[in-house]
């Protein structure tokens, strides 16, 4: 089989119409207001509250800042229990808040933090649980809530992958004390760089809004030691435009996901997250497979390398585990005995190309390649 004539990357940013962007730029230039809660920001925040079905929302310059400010707003300290199967930002924000990340193993089927393994990691220093809804698949929020209530812990959900997701019609940003979103260019919804923090408590929003602007209350009074985490007018304007096309993008990705699922179902040793709960309105952000070398004939790494020869650039998300990073690998909770499932899953996952402009034909060809590569070495 011939390689693709152009590189096929794991994703492409969802770009709004160019003319519409130029019109937005005109609006911003006319307003002469570039950042600091300008008209685009105000409007975007309002419409996002409705779209995400949350009660409180603060726009921020990125998803990492959202996590940072969540830790600050909840006054977290000591230790926080989190997952190693996530992007680097999740444990890093704990470290930057002088909090020790404690890694908990994940569930084999959801790839999310395993609630059954949280309790044994709780110590007198534990202040919170920081689960991640990995790839937009919601965590077991009921069980996590029960544990948090039993031990008086706060819960921050890293919902970076969850734009638009609802559970039983309820916005995913309403679970836990705080949820955080990333609007990075590679996410299904983007503001180039950007993010948001959502919660149910207006006091938390007030704290975050103060902290994201150096702690200023009015012109002359600084009441907390804040930071600069503001979303600017250009980001907010892009967000407003991308919001107009997000539903269509999700539909396209859903259709392509169905092709992947039908085709890859036929290949021995290739599995994927097909058990997303029926109660969940999913966003089809990405499509991640697991490769079982014994059944498929090649390892995840071999498949990844072979695909590259055909101009297909898949990514190993999440590999390595955060607990394997130089800065965390000596933590007691990073031991292999503590994280057997996470280590196994991380060695087998591969994120395949998925974005609205990918064609049915391209997805079918990627499936043909996966089939061929497996057979070649069997
Ligand atoms: C799970 C997770 N958490 C946090 C982040 C950080 O978000 P950002 O890149 O917007 O700072 C990302 C993505 O980049 C992510 O995937």
User: How many CA atoms does the CB half-sphere of 71 hold within 13 Å?
Assistant: 29
d(CA 144, CA 104): 13
pLDDT for residue 378 is more than 50? no
Residue 375 pLDDT grade (very low, low, confident, very high; cuts 50, 70, 90): confident
Closest CA to 248 of 356, 92, 339: 356
Residue 372 pLDDT grade (very low, low, confident, very high; cuts 50, 70, 90): very high
Task: Please give the order of strands across the beta sheet that includes 280-281.
Answer: 170-171, 166-167, 280-281
Report the DSSP pairing between strands 221-222 and 270-272: unpaired
Sign of CA dihedral 318, 197, 226, 186: positive
**What average pLDDT does the segment 312-334 reach?**
98
Ligand 1 centre from 32 Cα, in Å?
31
Sign of CA dihedral 164, 167, 173, 179: negative
Q: Tell which one of 11, 59, 60, 64 to mutate to probe ligand 1, the residue whose CB is within 8 A of the most ligand atoms.
A: 64
pLDDT in tens, 50-103: 999 999 999 999 999 999 999 999 999 999 999 999 999 999 999 999 999 999
Tokens 């199967």 identify what position?
85
Length of the chain: 378
Report the DSSP pairing between strands 126-130 and 79-82: parallel
Q: Tell which one of 182, 190, 197 to mutate to probe ligand 1, the residue whose CB is within 8 A of the most ligand atoms.
A: 182
Q: Please tell me the predicted confidence (pLDDT) of residue 278.
A: 76
H or E, element range at 142: helix 141-151
Ligand 1 centre from 337 Cα, in Å?
27
Ligand 1 centre from 1 Cα, in Å?
36
Q: Is the CB of 136 under 6 A from ligand 1?
A: no
pLDDT in tens, 274-303: 667 778 899 999 999 999 999 999 999 999
d(CA 57, CA 70): 12
Structure tokens at 284: 């089809």
Q: Is the CB of 90 under 6 A from ligand 1?
A: yes
Count of other CB atoms within 10 angstroms of residue 50:
10
- Which residues does 160 contact at the CB level (< 8 Å), separation at least 6? 63, 87, 89, 132, 180, 181, 182, 187, 195
Q: Which atom of ligand 1 is nearest to the CA of 132?
A: 1
Ligand 1 centre from 377 Cα, in Å?
36
Q: What is the pTM of this model?
A: 0.97
Contact 162, 31 (CB under 8 A): no
Q: Whose CA is nearest to atom 7 of ligand 1?
A: 63
Ligand 1 centre from 5 Cα, in Å?
31
Q: Is the CB of 195 under 6 A from ligand 1?
A: yes
Q: Please tell me the predicted confidence (pLDDT) of residue 275.
A: 62
- Which residues does 363 contact at the CB level (< 8 Å), separation at least 6? 256, 259, 260, 263, 353
d(CA 64, CA 88): 10
pLDDT in tens, 162-212: 999 999 999 999 999 999 999 999 999 999 999 999 999 999 999 999 999
Q: Is the CB of 63 under 6 A from ligand 1?
A: yes
Residue-averaged pLDDT of the chain = 97
User: Using omega within 30 degrees of 0 as the cis cutoff, is the peptide bond preceding 38 cis?
Assistant: no
Ligand 1 centre from 76 Cα, in Å?
20
- Which residues does 67 contact at the CB level (< 8 Å), separation at least 6? 89, 90, 93, 130, 156, 158, 180
Q: Whose CA is nearest to atom 16 of ligand 1?
A: 87
Q: Please tell me the predicted confidence (pLDDT) of residue 82.
A: 98
Closest CA to 143 of 169, 104, 182: 104
**What average pLDDT does the segment 126-134 reach?**
98
pLDDT in tens, 248-284: 999 999 999 999 999 999 999 999 986 677 788 999 9
Count of other CB atoms within 10 angstroms of residue 169:
8
d(CA 370, CA 355): 18
């Amino acid at each position: 089989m011939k390689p693709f004539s152009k590189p096929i990357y794991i994703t492409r940013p969802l770009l709004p119409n160019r003319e519409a962007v130029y019109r937005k730029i005109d609006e911003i230039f006319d307003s002469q207001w570039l950042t600091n809660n300008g008209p685009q920001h105000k409007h975007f925040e309002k419409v996002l509250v409705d779209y995400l079905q949350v009660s409180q929302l603060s726009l921020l310059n990125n998803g990492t800042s959202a996590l940072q400010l969540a830790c600050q707003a909840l006054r977290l300290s000591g230790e926080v229990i989190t997952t190693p199967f996530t992007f680097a930002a999740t444990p890093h924000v704990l470290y930057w808040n002088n909090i020790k990340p404690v890694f908990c193993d994940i569930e084999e089927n959801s790839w999310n933090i395993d609630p059954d393994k949280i309790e044994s990691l709780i110590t007198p220093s534990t202040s919170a649980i920081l689960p991640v809804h990995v790839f937009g698949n919601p965590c077991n929020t009921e069980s996590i809530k029960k544990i948090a209530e039993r031990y008086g812990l706060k819960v921050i959900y890293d919902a970076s992958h969850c734009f638009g997701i609802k559970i039983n019609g309820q916005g995913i940003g309403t679970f836990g004390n705080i949820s955080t979103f990333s609007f990075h260019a590679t996410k299904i919804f983007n503001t180039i760089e950007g993010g948001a923090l959502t919660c149910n408590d207006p006091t938390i929003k007030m704290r975050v809004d103060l902290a994201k602007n150096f702690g200023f209350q009015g012109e002359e009074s600084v009441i907390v030691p804040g930071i600069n985490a503001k979303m600017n007018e250009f980001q907010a304007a892009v967000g407003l435009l991308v919001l107009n096309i997000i539903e269509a993008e999700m539909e396209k990705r859903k259709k392509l996901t169905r092709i992947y699922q039908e085709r890859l179902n036929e290949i021995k040793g290739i599995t994927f997250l097909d058990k997303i709960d029926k109660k969940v309105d999913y966003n089809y952000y990405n499509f991640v497979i697991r490769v079982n070398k014994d059944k498929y004939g090649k390892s995840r790494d071999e498949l990844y390398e072979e695909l590259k020869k055909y101009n297909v650039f898949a990514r190993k998300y999440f590999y390595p585990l955060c607990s394997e990073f130089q800065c965390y690998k000596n933590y007691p909770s990073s031991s292999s005995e503590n994280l057997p499932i996470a280590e196994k899953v991380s060695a087998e996952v591969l994120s395949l190309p998925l974005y609205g402009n990918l064609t049915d034909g391209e997805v079918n060809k990627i499936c043909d390649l996966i089939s061929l590569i497996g057979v070649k070495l069997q």
